[in-house]
Amino acid sequence: MCIQTLFGCVRKREQQYGFPQQKLPDTRVTDINEEESKMSGREEEIVTLVTMCGEIVGRVASETDMTIMLKSPLLFVPGGDDNAGGGFAPGISMTGAQGMHRGEFNKSCILTVIPAHDQVADGWLKATSSIVI
């Protein structure tokens, strides 16, 4: 259910049952472009998005109150039975599109955003770089 619908229902109930009139937040929908988005100070940092379904590593492109956009996001896949090592899926899911240049993630689905471990950040750089060493 969208927020706008929820607030519409609350306003109708206030009128119908005589609840005290409260100032409800403005529910206007506005477009936010990258230049106007609120930045957290993490732009260009390589981070790990910890979700219930896995961990996604990428470089922060932009961030708002509701979303975070990553450049070249990749799903981290842990290694064998002892979880030693690991690697990256070619996208943000095992079966989804590969080689995404950007991905926008809703913060309501993210448990936390943390700086990526140095070894993971190095692995991500190697996986996303076109330079062969």
User: Coil, strand or helix: which one is 12?
Assistant: helix
Predicted confidence (pLDDT) per residue in 1-53, tens digit:
344 444 444 455 555 555 555 554 444 444 444 444 444 577 889 999 999 98
- The per-residue pLDDT for 27 is 42
How much is the mean pLDDT over the chain?
A: 76
Residue 93 has pLDDT above 90, yes or no: no
CA-atom Rg of the chain in angstroms:
20
The alpha-helical segments, DSSP class H, found in the chain are 3-17, 118-128
Nearest-angstrom CA–CA distance, 123 and 20: 57
**What is d(CA 80, CA 86) in angstroms, rounded to the nearest whole number?**
8
Q: Which domains does the chain have, with CATH numbers?
A: 1-30 (no CATH), 32-128 (2.30.30.100)
> Model's pTM, two decimal places?
0.65
